[in-house]
């Protein structure tokens, strides 16, 4: 009888303490952070209000930067859409994942960032521009090629932002976003965030926007009117004979940016209203920049600042607070996956080649990265050989840009003294020691990456990619393991 009474008392005590013990257990294992990763196409780092650009009207990004870590040396290691996205997804360099040109396919057996989050208990979502499927820019992308994303509203690629198509889930029915796709896609992202915030599982959402990539003059009139009479400042590295064209392009370019800024502000507000801001990692970045007349060129691929340097904001109040700071880390495209996984407390796959900077950002590790690699394996498209395109490999430090082509040293800039890269110091005897040091760093890096720096067409032939007479992949061709399918 006494034993029964003791047992009943013990059970009663456990019943009373159970909620307390359960709560304590939850306190010891907090929910992993959500991730909202916003990537835009062709936005150069210098073109924001918080970076000092007087052209830019970006009040929401300016507020976000004031409450975030601003990674001022974020680099697009191969400044082209598809190669960047493949590095973002895999944490690998282009000669490892083999995606060194636009419109080729990322191997679906790769370990991707979405697969890691999904396998770690996250719900995964992707909205917008995909551009790593390689089956044609308007083709249906089946679930087997979603690379780990569950929620899916995406298209391979379009720059018709006011008649923008997409496929939803595993349906092959082509749908269209209502109006300007930045607005429609951002609103869909806000809906997804609101719904996921009510659930117990953490989520990761990638929102991939097409603008401010040209065509520049297609943003809604509401945003274009803000710049119509604005006195646009033009950088000194833009030749005089093209300045009028550059001015008109800049008006359209910044109009897209202000539209994006407006809806980033609304997404941020959604996160706040859902009560999840403290434990949500918000990232804003771009796949590469835009030359927009700098050095007489447009678009990307080239190793100039306007092409390779991109904005990168990390907002994570639970870990970093809300006092804005600037980080000098040399964050390259393959470094994003391991750094995000590190900030999320998740294991980093052995397949990843990039650097995990999460410890440096948290202040628990020293930054020992002094340089990072930039490259163009094969010139094509808007910078094909007829337009001066050529293979290069280069090194970026916090002060210098150094690049060589197949004939030897090509460019050397002291970005601290010459931010617009007006004076090429390659071959300058006063910088011989600097050039030699950078060349040794480059050779060591290429050896580490097992990069033999061969002519681009050798790599094209090695992996059986299909190209046209300009050495460019046709937009409607499958390019993976030698297969070719026309839509």
User: Do 414 and 276 fall within a single domain?
Assistant: no
| pLDDT, tens digit (0-9, with 9 covering 90-100), for 83-141 | 999 999 999 999 999 999 999 999 999 999 999 999 999 999 999 999 999 999 999 99
27: confidence class by pLDDT, cuts 50, 70, 90:
very low
Q: What is the mean pLDDT of residues 10-21?
A: 48
User: Do 321 and 425 fall within a single domain?
Assistant: no
What is the Cα 476 distance to its own chain's centre? Answer: 24
CA distance 35 to 21: 29
Q: Which of 131, 135, 213, 315 is catalytic?
A: 131
14: confidence class by pLDDT, cuts 50, 70, 90:
very low
**13 domain residue, yes or no:** no
**482 domain residue, yes or no:** no
CATH assignment of the domain containing 116: 3.40.720.10
Predicted TM-score (pTM) of this structure: 0.92
The reported pLDDT for the residue numbered 486 is 30
**379 domain residue, yes or no:** no
pLDDT beyond 60 at 8: no
**464 domain residue, yes or no:** no
User: Do 364 and 398 fall within a single domain?
Assistant: no
Q: Which of 81, 135, 146, 376 is catalytic?
A: 81
157 is catalytic: no
User: Do 111 and 188 fall within a single domain?
Assistant: yes
97 is catalytic: no
Closest CA to 238 of 225, 223, 248, 230: 248
Cα atoms in the Cβ-side hemisphere of radius 13 Å centred on 345: 12
User: Do 327 and 401 fall within a single domain?
Assistant: no
User: Do 292 and 334 fall within a single domain?
Assistant: yes
Q: Domain of 358?
A: 32-369
Bridge partners, residue 402, by sequence: 395, 412
Q: What is the mean pLDDT of residues 277-292?
A: 98
User: Do 424 and 320 fall within a single domain?
Assistant: no
Phi-psi map region of 449: left, alpha, beta (phi>0 left; psi -120 to 50 alpha): alpha
- The tokens describing 91, both together, are 């944490």
| pLDDT, tens digit (0-9, with 9 covering 90-100), for 166-176 | 999 999 999 99
The reported pLDDT for the residue numbered 23 is 41
User: Do 106 and 235 fall within a single domain?
Assistant: yes
């Amino acid at each position: 009888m006494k034993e029964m009474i003791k047992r009943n008392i013990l059970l009663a005590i456990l019943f009373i303490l159970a909620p307390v013990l359960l709560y304590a257990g939850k306190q010891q294992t907090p929910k992993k952070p959500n991730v909202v990763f916003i990537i835009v196409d062709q936005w150069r780092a210098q073109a924001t209000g918080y970076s000092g650009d007087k052209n830019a009207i970006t009040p929401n990004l300016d507020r976000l930067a004031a409450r975030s870590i601003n990674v001022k040396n974020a680099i697009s290691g191969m400044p082209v859409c598809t190669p960047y996205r493949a590095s973002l997804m895999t944490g690998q360099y282009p000669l490892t994942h083999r995606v060194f040109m636009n419109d080729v396919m990322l191997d679906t057996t790769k370990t991707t960032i979405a697969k890691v989050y999904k396998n770690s208990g996250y719900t995964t979502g992707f909205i917008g521009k995909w551009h790593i499927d390689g089956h044609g820019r308007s083709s249906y992308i089946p679930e087997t090629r979603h690379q780990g994303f569950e929620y899916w509203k995406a298209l391979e690629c379009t720059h018709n932002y006011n008649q923008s198509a997409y496929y939803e889930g595993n349906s092959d029915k082509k749908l269209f976003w209502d109006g300007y796709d930045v607005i429609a896609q951002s609103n869909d992202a806000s809906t997804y965030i609101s719904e996921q915030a009510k659930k117990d599982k953490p989520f990761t959402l990638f929102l991939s926007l097409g603008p401010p990539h040209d065509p520049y003059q297609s943003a809604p009139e509401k945003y274009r009117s803000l710049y119509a009479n604005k006195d646009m400042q033009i950088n000194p590295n833009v030749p005089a004979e093209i300045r009028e064209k550059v001015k008109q392009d800049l008006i359209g370019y910044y109009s897209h940016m202000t539209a994006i800024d407006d809806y980033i502000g609304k997404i941020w507000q959604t996160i706040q209203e859902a009560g999840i801001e403290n434990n949500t990692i918000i990232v804003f970045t771009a796949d590469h920049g835009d030359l927009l007349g700098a050095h007489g060129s447009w678009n990307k691929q080239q190793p100039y600042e306007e092409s390779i340097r991109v904005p990168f904001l990390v907002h994570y109040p639970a870990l970093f607070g809300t006092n804005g700071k600037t980080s000098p880390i040399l964050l390259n495209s393959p470094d994003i996956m391991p750094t995000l996984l590190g900030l999320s407390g998740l294991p980093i796959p052995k397949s990843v080649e990039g650097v995990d900077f999460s410890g440096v950002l948290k202040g628990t590790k020293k930054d020992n990265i002094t340089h990072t690699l930039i490259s163009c394996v094969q010139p094509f498209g808007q910078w094909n050989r007829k337009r001066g395109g050529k293979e290069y490999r280069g090194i970026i430090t916090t002060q210098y840009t150094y690049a060589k082509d197949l004939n030897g040293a090509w460019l050397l800039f002291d970005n601290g003294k010459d931010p617009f890269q007006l004076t090429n110091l390659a071959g300058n005897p006063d910088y011989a020691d600097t050039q030699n040091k950078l060349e040794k760093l480059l050779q060591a890096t290429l050896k580490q990456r097992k990069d033999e720096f061969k002519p681009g067409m050798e790599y094209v032939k090695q992996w059986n990619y299909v190209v046209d007479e300009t050495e460019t992949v046709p937009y409607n061709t499958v390019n993976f393991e030698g297969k070719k399918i026309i839509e």
